[in-house]
Structure 1
């Protein structure tokens, strides 16, 4: 008997029929599964926010202190874990992060990254010099020229011929008005590259600024000498007039004679055209607890002359019309807390020359009370 093997090959029609049957059975199986709402995905109202947190989709570096996606945190740990990375690798990673933030003008974040890279202490002078130089650039763009210069100096300790560090150090010195030092840094750059146009221009500006500074310094010194001479002359005249200034004249300057009352601030004691002293003066009225501010009281004027001007029109507070020059007593308090008296015919210069009168705060002051009034009697009881 002869055995025959038959080849049961499927036709294309049979194959399509079988595929359709399997698809139908799969659909029936899926539809038969219990329906359950998918709750592990991103919520519809916050999917963009959640997507931005995912390290595969985020478009910017997380802010310091922001909550990190677990995957991002893991990648970060893998990248920055000192136990998993050599110091040089860590320094390089932080440098790259700093460069990324610097590129997008996130200078403060760049400084943080460069600082971490410096802390890694990788021992490679090229990398460490670059970290200091790059951090210097970030400080510079933030306008912190002193910190920028300091980082330049650190970079130059590791690489004395670092051209970018030398150039920026020159720029920082210029901004900090250290023109002499700026010229030195410019010269070091030009030793490396003689045709460096921006440094040549900067050096020229520094030289011009130095000359201007020297001229201004000379002018300032001349003005100070002139001022000192004028002050010496002024105080010699005060001594000649016998005026006693609180604290004495030792180390005294005109600034210390500035009136302490805002109403008299622009009326410091001065000379008139006849070389007479003109003082700001305060008249005190204890009865009403008010005062008058006399901006200019010439030392040659009498108190009567000045009071005639003050009471030319009766003040609003004097409703009884009892204040007038001939009805007043004038007092001053001496350093021993005792009262001195002033006559209407006395000039201001005569009173200020009295041994027991002391000018305080650059402003002579006097107490005015109606003669024999109850207010005067109450006042005198305190003395």
Structure 2
């Protein structure tokens, strides 16, 4: 049976022994790397298992994952670099920074971000190392075009070191990329207080020009929104003035365009609107005999319903030519759940204010049936 190692018998390494071990491990690592075959690296870590794979890497692992014996290199690295009992917070943060820098140098920006993030998590009290960790992580994000993250990390770096020129310049560039032009201008102006750098001057001028364009577009957008709101209010006002009954609306104050949107698939752009004081409605014609429908967009309220039927007949599905303007009856289903016949020669506006008429889903709907036919009789009997 092997000897049990306790906290009392554990040998504490001196600074000289640690330095000697570091130099030995560095040399062994250099010799190992130099012995590798020189070829292009083509296989990256799987995106969904970066942290898992990182924990298996001797530079990052904090414990032995499978309880087997670790190599001296892996054990020494893990102990020297990551053991909180063997390292101060500053030493740990510095080690993670070095790991991040190594990956950044080799353009492994995602791995570099992981390294810098671990260093930030240490929360050491050194402002310079924290500023450096955030700045370097911002640089990694910048190369990955994660501009919002680059801006956040750059400004975090500046919170630890307001004079960090690289962090401020990257903050300005990132702000420009995410259209935060005021932020970009502010950082550029602070940079120009120290030096009239040509790159910063060009960046500042670009931000000012884009800000002018942005403000113009916002004014244009605001005008469009205001115009649409005015049009919506005009539509609602016209409906109230005409006395049209709207389903699920208790009074005039309860009417809004959301309750007037057509519920038919693909018909959302056909919502009632007003042109030159005339309401134009989407109208649905139903033919129960054939289970067919016609959907007509923008029917003017001052035009007889008959005009719309004349454009629809003869119907391609009416092989027996039964559906003609002179031989059909037109009905609507009232809020009393009964059918009501209408005179199609009347204007649509007159039909919409008939007794028992109720507008549903913003779409006037009418049933069309051959006059005196069995189909019409069955339709009427279905309401009895």
TM range (shorter): 0.7 to 0.9
Evaluate the alpha carbon distance shift between residue 246 and residue 176 of structure 1 in structure 2; reply closer, same or farther with a 3 A threshold.
farther
Q: CA deviation at 1:108?
A: 0.7
Structure-2 residue corresponding to 1:116: 118
8 A Cα contact 2:113 2:140, kept in partner: yes
Superposed, which structure 2 residues align to 1:169-180 within 5 Å?
169-180=171-182
For residues 305 and 215 of structure 1, what CA distance do their matches in structure 2 show?
A: 45
Deviations 1:77-117 (A, max 9, x none): 13423233333222222112211211222111000010111
Note if 1:155 corresponds to 2:149: no
Note if 1:141 corresponds to 2:143: yes
Q: CA RMSD in A?
A: 3.0
8 A Cα contact 2:141 2:147, kept in partner: yes
For residues 273 and 196 of structure 2, what CA distance do their matches in structure 1 show?
A: 59
Superposed, which structure 2 residues align to 1:265-276 within 5 Å?
267-271=270-274, 275-276=277-278
Superposed, which structure 2 residues align to 1:1-383 within 5 Å?
57=35, 63=45, 64=50, 65-66=52-53, 70-71=70-71, 73-82=74-83, 83-191=85-193, 193-248=194-249, 250=253, 257-262=260-265, 264=267, 267-271=270-274, 275-311=277-313, 313-316=314-317, 318-383=318-383
8 A Cα contact 1:369 1:375, kept in partner: yes
For residues 180 and 266 of structure 2, what CA distance do their matches in structure 1 show?
A: 42
Aligned partner of residue 278 in structure 1, secondary structure: strand
Max Rg structure:
1
**For structure 1, which runs of at least 5 residues remain unmatched after alignment?**
1-53
For residues 293 and 227 of structure 2, what CA distance do their matches in structure 1 show?
A: 37
For residues 144 and 275 of structure 2, what CA distance do their matches in structure 1 show?
A: 53
8 A Cα contact 2:283 2:363, kept in partner: yes
For residues 127 and 339 of structure 1, what CA distance do their matches in structure 2 show?
A: 80
The farther-off stretch of 277-286 and 297-306 is 297-306
Aligned partner of residue 282 in structure 1, secondary structure: strand
For residues 336 and 76 of structure 1, what CA distance do their matches in structure 2 show?
A: 84
For residues 98 and 377 of structure 1, what CA distance do their matches in structure 2 show?
A: 83
For residues 77 and 181 of structure 2, what CA distance do their matches in structure 1 show?
A: 44
Task: Figure out how many residues of one structure are paired with residues of the other and give that number.
Answer: 326
Evaluate the alpha carbon distance shift between residue 252 and residue 162 of structure 1 in structure 2; reply closer, same or farther with a 3 A threshold.
farther
8 A Cα contact 1:79 1:93, kept in partner: no
Evaluate the alpha carbon distance shift between residue 373 and residue 266 of structure 1 in structure 2; reply closer, same or farther with a 3 A threshold.
same
**For structure 2, which runs of at least 5 residues remain unmatched after alignment?**
1-31, 59-69
Q: CA deviation at 1:124?
A: 1.7
Q: CA deviation at 1:378?
A: 3.1
Deviations 1:129-175 (A, max 9, x none): 10111011111222222222222222122112111111122222222
Q: CA deviation at 1:278?
A: 3.0
Q: CA deviation at 1:376?
A: 2.9
Q: CA deviation at 1:213?
A: 2.4
Aligned partner of residue 301 in structure 1, secondary structure: coil
Structure-2 residue corresponding to 1:24: none
